[in-house]
Amino acid sequence: MNELFSESTELDRKLGLKETSAIVVGRIIGSGIFRTPSSIFALVGCSSLFYGVWILGGLVSLMGAFCVMEMIAMMPRSGGPYAFLKAAYPPVWTFLRGWAMFFVAETGAIAAVALVFAEYSEFLSKELGGPLFGIAGRTAIALMLVWSWTAANCFGVQLSGRLQVVFSSAKVLALLSVIVAGIALRPDPDHIANNFWPQNGGIGTVLAFFAAMRYGFFAYSGWEGATYVAEEVKNPRRNLPLSLLLGISGVMLLYLAANTGYLLQLTGSEMHAARQYIAADAMRKALGAIGGVLIAAAVMINTFGNVGTQILVKARTWFAMARDGLFFPRLGELSAIYHTPNRALIAQAFWASVLLCFASLAKNAYETVIDFFAFTGAFFNVLTFLALFVLRKKFPDAPRPFKMPLYPLPALIAIAVYVMLMISALFTAPLESLSGVALTASGLLYYRYLRKGARSDLLQNH
């Protein structure tokens, strides 16, 4: 029990509040704000519900973060939610969460964002009069991005932390420039007012709203990113909760401002038709032809940094699982020179590359990937939030430097919204949702193998 709540670690604590906050911001702001608004508007069809998706997504993310803030301040251990599930539940649930994140959600998100970077690389080339890359070219660019960041992360967490500060700052500046252009240059408030309320209500509108929430939550996803590197953060009981609070709140304000910029530039039909280039279409209206070039550069900066942040933080989960005997054993080894989980980083890059190659061949690959892991991700988020109640009962006397305000209301609201998201996913994307569930369930075969090996070792020792 003492080890569970201890700050002792074999990793190097070199990340301060600035770096951890940069990881939160860098992990959240990526492709979502430049890619999902069109998909969201196409589903909800009006300004009020469009804003509702972004506001509810930010508030529920913050409520979920309150659960994580209390648990990470109590247990500053690497691996993010994996560490909380490990302390709260039987090992099989902890294992399945990690299995699902590796083979379905987390590496899938890396692949999706890398693909957007490649798409906008091609877009920028076209805007500047250069060639189109085609599927093979875009895939090659995305693969180079994944492996370049993987290599950078293999040379120590301090280098990676400094890179996160640089790119997170650049990303915020790029997004601010989009906001200023969208709001200040030839805005048309009638675009918001003329199509403000939904034309009809009923269960169809509710399902459409929560279907849109899948893409909204994806745009906010990653707010727990800094908790993955908890054992590499200075003064983690203070810096980790504070970085989550500052990061999520700041990103929510930026997202609302950016979406206001889009609505002021584009009509409802233009929002619906924009697809992956909504930001480019909005900036063309605001700035002319140069707007497309600037937004392409901004999206590339954002997605470039976001892929780096994902690669940095997520590999710590596979390292932590392997270290605990719940994943492939060699992924639990650290580099003797740089004290980084290099084997976990390389395995992560390999599987993300496999998913990337498959995703690049699909129509609407970005949305399909999100639909694929939305149900599974929501299920394990609910399990993580419920862990707060389990741990309060299981360890009532454990140190809790941060306690959830208005307990248990924020946790209950977050759980209720995610359950609605799961129900909506089953109705509106059944094939994708069930495919993700099936791949997650396949982990039970490997878990059975692990348990069989553990029993054999026990018999041999006796």
Model confidence at 462: pLDDT above 60: no
Listed ranges 12-16, 142-146, 202-206; the one with the highest mean pLDDT: 142-146
For residues 58 and 252, is the Cβ–Cβ distance under 8 A?
A: yes
How far apart (Å, rounded) are the C-alpha atoms in residues 161 and 429?
37
Q: Look over the chain and give the mean of its residue pLDDT values, rounded to a whole number.
A: 85
Model confidence at 128: pLDDT above 70: yes
Percent of the chain with pLDDT over 70: 94
Flag whether 7 is in a domain: no
Q: What is the CATH number of the domain that holds 401?
A: 1.20.1740.10
Average pLDDT for residues 288-312, to the nearest whole number?
84
Q: For residue 236, what are its two tokens?
A: 């983690």
Model confidence at 22: pLDDT above 70: yes
User: What pLDDT shows up at residue 329?
Assistant: 86
What is the distance, to the nearest Å, from the Cα of residue 409 to the centroid of all Cα atoms in its chain? 24
Q: Where are the alpha helices (DSSP H) in 324-364?
A: 342-359
Flag whether 458 is in a domain: no
Number of domains in the chain: 1
User: What pLDDT shows up at residue 37?
Assistant: 92
Model confidence at 459: pLDDT above 50: no
User: What pLDDT shows up at residue 458?
Assistant: 33
Task: Encode pLDDT of 403-432 as tens digits.
Answer: 999 999 999 999 999 999 999 999 988 988
| CA distances for 302 relative to 24, 30, 308, 451, angstroms | 13, 5, 10, 42
Phi, psi of 246 (to 5 degrees): -65, -45
Flag whether 139 is in a domain: yes
Flag whether 257 is in a domain: yes
Residue type, 299: V
For residues 222 and 30, is the Cβ–Cβ distance under 8 A?
A: yes
Q: For residue 365, what are its two tokens?
A: 């690959």
Flag whether 460 is in a domain: no
Model confidence at 455: pLDDT above 50: no
Residue type, 337: I
Lowest mean pLDDT among 17-26, 179-188, 451-460: 451-460
For residues 82 and 68, is the Cβ–Cβ distance under 8 A?
A: no
Which are the contacts of 393, defined by CB distance < 8 A and separation ≥ 6?
none
pTM: 0.84
How far apart (Å, rounded) are the C-alpha atoms in residues 189 and 184?
11
Flag whether 2 is in a domain: no
Model confidence at 251: pLDDT above 50: yes
Task: Encode pLDDT of 334-371 as tens digits.
Answer: 877 877 888 999 999 999 999 888 877 777 777 888 88
Q: For residue 343, what are its two tokens?
A: 């084997």
Model confidence at 288: pLDDT above 80: yes
Identify the residue whose tokens are 């941060």: 402
How far does the chain reach from its first CA to its final CA, in angstroms?
27
Q: For residue 270, what are its two tokens?
A: 């233009």
Residue type, 361: L
Flag whether 443 is in a domain: yes
Average pLDDT for residues 214-236, to the nearest whole number?
86
User: What pLDDT shows up at residue 227?
Assistant: 83
Average pLDDT for residues 315-324, to the nearest whole number?
83
User: What pLDDT shows up at residue 157?
Assistant: 59
Average pLDDT for residues 235-260, to the nearest whole number?
92
Task: Encode pLDDT of 69-110 as tens digits.
Answer: 999 989 888 767 878 898 999 988 988 988 998 988 888 889
Which are the contacts of 407, defined by CB distance < 8 A and separation ≥ 6?
none
Percent of the chain with pLDDT over 90: 34
Average pLDDT for residues 170-199, to the nearest whole number?
84
Give 405's DSSP letter. T
User: What pLDDT shows up at residue 461?
Assistant: 41
Q: For residue 350, what are its two tokens?
A: 């390999």
Flag whether 225 is in a domain: yes
Q: Where are the alpha helices (DSSP H) in 360-429?
A: 365-394, 409-428
Q: For residue 210, what are its two tokens?
A: 């929560």
The number of residues making up the chain comes to 462
Which residues span the domain enclosing 363? 17-453
User: What pLDDT shows up at residue 350?
Assistant: 95
